[in-house]
Amino acid sequence: MVRAFALLVLGLVLAVGSPARPATAAEAPFEPGLMRLAEVLGSLHFLRNLCGEKSDQWRTEMEKLLTSENPAPERRARFIAAFNRGYRSFGSTYTQCTASASEAISRYMKEGETLSRDIASRYGN
């Protein structure tokens, strides 16, 4: 499931990304979905590490998204804020891996897959 989600994010990055010039929010009807995806990636980065996965996989996926989107500084700041919001939202709730933390991981994995698939199918090249 982790590999499938990571592949979907990579596919989204390749399908939607436009490195030729930064896109603005007015040009991007998929903007809310991408911001939510950034938040989901931040949540997964916190939760997966809390529950034993010691890696930067989800931060790396976020970096790929940023590279692909090539956002203007203000938009880049919004992406990073969304990622950090997702990360911090669980920091005050979970201090150890619990059954509900594991359930949150499952829900966020599914949401991330759905967001990636929907954005790529609607707006991909």
Q: HSE on the CB side for 98, CA within 13 Å? A: 7
Angle, helix 99-123 to helix 2-16, in steps of 10 degrees: 30
Write down the domain spans for the chain. Answer: 33-123
Least confident of 20-24, 34-38, 59-63, 101-105: 20-24
What's the predicted TM-score (pTM) here?
Answer: 0.79
pLDDT tens digits for range 58-92? 999 999 999 999 999 999 999 999 999 999 999 88
